[in-house]
Structure 1
Amino acid sequence: MDSHRMGFNATPATMLRIGLFIAGIVLLGTIEFLETDVLFAGIQFEEVFIFRLTGYANLVLVGSTVLYFGHMWSGSESVGRWASGMALLGSLTSIVALVWRWIETYYLHRLGHIPLNSLYEMMSLFSAMTVLIYLVMEHVYRTRAAGAFVMLIVFGAVVFQIWLAANDQTIPGAHVRVLKSYWMYAHVLGSFFGYGAFAVAAAMGAAYLVRAHAESLGRSTGFAVQSLPELRSIDGLMHRAIVVGFPLFGLATVLGSVWSYEAWGRYWAWEPKETWALLVCLTYGSYFYCRWVNKLHGRRMAWWTMAGFAITVFCFLGTRMLEPGLHAVGRAII
């Protein structure tokens, strides 16, 4: 499938999308200028327009999820292009909303706040990073058939954000001393690039198992055989996602140790979050050992990626809910 059919050339439609995105940025700047006079320290965050932009971005991502499933079932290329376009728009809008959220917290006298220390903000970052990593792979390898599996994970993140909003957990995290560190910002960004790549790998693993199951039944029709890539291609995409995510997450863990020394005077304390982060590294490190040394491929590696992502989710969310340790600082989530 050539790049023109995938819709990545500078076609009139592409130029129109770029123009609309730029126009949206200009519109947001205008709204920001008009709202500046009414901002005050005690205003509720939900009352400011820009903080609602994340909700609009999530709606676009939900729409993209529906379109990806429609593309997978129908094979329609036009539906696929719209699915990719909406996914890109939703992820970029989420990032713009986070950046603008940072800007407006300055007006609200929360100097120095960067939107990386509350769970609501981090779920938005996770959705954006997952989508962007997948879209890069979609562009490079000229296939979007597995996008539905990736967007299903993003949809779960959006639903969780809705739950957080319903429970009044959209306010930025507590601005305490240990959060005022560039090491922390680098640690969080690196971690979420890793989370996003692991999510893409798990989605590819699920796609692999679906196609493998269909082939084991001897089916020659149906979306699993006609829409999903060949098993070897899915296996390669799954592997490349982990090749991207593992070093980024490992680097983020090292940066977290440096930040820990700066904040608490020790590099490692074996508290729950650190222990599970090490387990994540060992899980994906073992994946490479099994693939390169034991020459394992196929279903077992697909299950491995899904199990690894489950461990990653518990490292991020489970430890906070069950054993928060030092990584839960006030209302913040690290």
Structure 2
Amino acid sequence: MTTVTLNPGYFSSRSAIDWGFALLALLGTVFAFTRYQHAMDVYEQSILIGSLPAVIWLGWFWRPLRTLMLVVAGLSLLAINLYQGDLARAEQVFLLKYFLSSQSAILWMSMLFFISTVFYWAGVFIRGQADAMESLGSRMAWVAVGLALIGTLVRWYESHQLGPDIGHIPVSNLYEVFVMFCWMTAAFYLYYEEQYKTRALGAFVMLVVSAAVGFLLWYTLVREAHEIQPLVPALKSWWMKVHVPANFIGYGTFALASMVAFAYLIKQQATETRWYKLAPLWLLGIVLCFEPVVFRQSANDQTSSYWMVYFGVSAFIVAGILLGRRRIAERLPSFEILDDVMYKSIAVGFAFFTIATVLGALWAAEAWGGYWSWDPKETWALIVWLNYAAWLHMRLMKGLRGTVAAWWALVGLGITTFAFLGVNMFLSGLHSYGTL
């Protein structure tokens, strides 16, 4: 007699904790809708309602997100209640002044990402304490992601308190999208960290996050970018609310893939003694050490001392990687895992970047009367898309792996960075509202 075993259905296999989380998400959505409905247009209301099943699914799919979302929601609501509709309380209430106002939370995020990077690298080099150091680095990264989300949500509330025409989702300028880039890149890395049971890649991924934080701090200091500004007319569109986040999922995962590719090349050349063969290390040195030269405006720039410190730290990091490449290679996971993380990151990024490009074309048609105008930003977005489309084609059709794939992904970081920042710095066009 044959016995047939039926696998339980997706919903029937959910635990009581899963359904409890779903109920909390539903109640939170109802609360947000009833409490803040007056400040939302019909598109924002639709996004809020439509995000409910996505939030529940994410909480079921990756359980650590449940805790993160509940903590972020709770502390964000606490901050909003502490304001009591008066932004002046940001300087009067202890929790707001030092922890929960948007600027305070984002500054804490910045510091914790730096600390996380230090702990991850300590785990690479300190024998006997590697697991403990990397665990601390991972926890710091989680807290930093949470604070970034709290800062973003509270900033959204703060913008509405400045005036009914000023309030907007905080994804409208370089300051806000750099915060998004930092937490998205870190969050995707933390997911892969759990899935592959290795924390060794954190040292590499947090380098690019810390570089973004370094730019964010400079941008805050020099441009006072943390000040909330009204939207320019071109950004007063509901398309912005979906186009920009999709775009930065792409940027974040592409950056993650490039750092994994760099780790792959380090592991591959760990025993190499010929210095001219250590090209990936020198490439990283060029990227890190020459960034201050790019962003300095003049020899008399008041922030030159900041960039000198940045240069020194960058040089120290490069020297450490050069000297410790064998120890680094010992801590890294297998080539198969590195290759798989690189591939999955690019695949996810490409999917969302494609969606963002289509949404951007629809937005352009509404704002400027045409789907495509060969604006520099559009052109470089197309170059980024073609680069990763070709990478995925070669991977899926020709079995591209190993050194060539890693180098290609690493070069992709340069292309993506120019599309993200270089266009804003050196080229002008319809997207000139994002200039440095």
Does TM, scored on the shorter chain, surpass 0.5?
Answer: yes
- Check if 1:177 corresponds to 2:233: yes
Distance in 1, matches of 2:348 and 2:258, equals 13
1:205-249 C-alpha deviation (Å, 9 max, x unpaired): 0100110001556xxx94233200111211111111101110110
Give the equivalent residue in structure 2 for 1:84: 138
- Check if 1:139 corresponds to 2:194: yes
For residue 201 of structure 2, what is the amino acid of its counterpart?
A: A
Cα distance change of structure 1 residues 263 and 141 upon mapping to structure 2, 3 Å threshold: same
Q: Is 1:58–1:158's contact at 8 Å kept on the other side of the alignment?
A: yes
Q: Is 1:118–1:173's contact at 8 Å kept on the other side of the alignment?
A: no
Does 18-27 or 277-286 show the bigger shift? 18-27
Matches within 5 A, 1:1-334: 24-25=75-76, 28-33=79-84, 35-36=86-87, 49-74=101-126, 76-109=130-163, 110-167=165-222, 168-215=224-271, 222-329=326-433, 332=434
1:20-45 C-alpha deviation (Å, 9 max, x unpaired): 87775465345423854658xxxxxx
1:182-215 C-alpha deviation (Å, 9 max, x unpaired): 2122110000000110011001001001100015
Q: Mind listing any 5+ residue stretches in structure 1 that lack a counterpart? A: 1-13, 40-45
For residue 353 of structure 2, what is the amino acid of its counterpart?
A: F
Cα distance change of structure 1 residues 19 and 260 upon mapping to structure 2, 3 Å threshold: closer
Does the residue aligned with 2:168 lie in a helix, a strand or coil? coil
Structure 1 vs Structure 2 CA RMSD: 2.8
Q: Is 1:287–1:304's contact at 8 Å kept on the other side of the alignment?
A: yes
1:255-309 C-alpha deviation (Å, 9 max, x unpaired): 0000000111100000100000000010001101222333321111111111112
TM-score using structure 2 length? 0.66
Q: Is 1:320–1:333's contact at 8 Å kept on the other side of the alignment?
A: yes
Cα distance change of structure 1 residues 37 and 58 upon mapping to structure 2, 3 Å threshold: closer
Distance in 2, matches of 1:129 and 1:267, equals 28
Q: Is 2:103–2:226's contact at 8 Å kept on the other side of the alignment?
A: no
Cα distance change of structure 1 residues 197 and 16 upon mapping to structure 2, 3 Å threshold: closer
Distance in 2, matches of 1:256 and 1:16, equals 33
Offset of 1:311 from its aligned partner? 0.5
Does the residue aligned with 1:160 lie in a helix, a strand or coil? helix
1:135-173 C-alpha deviation (Å, 9 max, x unpaired): 111111111101111000000001001110111222235
Paired residues, number: 310
Higher RCO, 1 or 2 (CA under 8 Å, sep at least 6)? Answer: 1
Distance in 1, matches of 2:67 and 2:349, equals 33
Q: Mind listing any 5+ residue stretches in structure 2 that lack a counterpart? A: 1-64, 91-96, 274-324
Distance in 2, matches of 1:157 and 1:268, equals 30
Cα distance change of structure 1 residues 263 and 300 upon mapping to structure 2, 3 Å threshold: same
Of structures 1 and 2, the larger Rg is shown by 2
Cα distance change of structure 1 residues 280 and 89 upon mapping to structure 2, 3 Å threshold: same
Distance in 2, matches of 1:293 and 1:19, equals 42
Distance in 1, matches of 2:124 and 2:264, equals 14
